[in-house]
Structure 1
């Protein structure tokens, strides 16, 4: 099978980073290589490219004037640099009120104990829940 029209692939002067170049061969239905640059025979009226899985062999088929090229996916390129930090977002709505904490205690009474000379030696504190606690008095030296 010979073709009477040449297929033109786009050429760029320089490959892009991460771009992989693969050679493509065209085969007829019997698996024989076809020279798509030779004249005569079927003509290519359009070219269709389809993606193949990474590592697959590139393919090409000509049917009814449509040249279908199977192009494998290239390897994943290196990660790009981190982008700049974005602007701070708007403050979100206030959350629901929390559960009320336990009621606190307050001092409702204080009774001091003195010795015979009138010096305070201790005492008892009474809280709002009617509980009491002993008070210890210490003397600091100046």
Structure 2
């Protein structure tokens, strides 16, 4: 019985110490995985991008302007001539919360995701190049936004 009192006192001291050192974390907790809704938004973003490419240069440029992340719209962005088709490998889709756009210090508002893609460029209907890389998509207020490939 005499053994329990020192243990209880030690436990109480540890509990008080932990309570004093603890701090509240703000924000909404979320799992460290991509949800089905997020996956569908990203998939739909690429489907719309490729559909616009099939309609023509001006249609795709208009879509790229409409889906440019609102915090990073650059009115001086000159889109490249031609269209692009992007084939995402959706099995590689993952969260990338530490990413910032090149040359920027600020993290975009929203949920940042990255996915491996095969990007093929076309001019006047002729394939002029293809490469494999990563593309970031940001989900904000239920919409997918990207970062237009500026020529300048």
TM-score normalised by the chain length of structure 1: 0.24
TM-score normalised by the chain length of structure 2: 0.23
Larger radius of gyration: 1
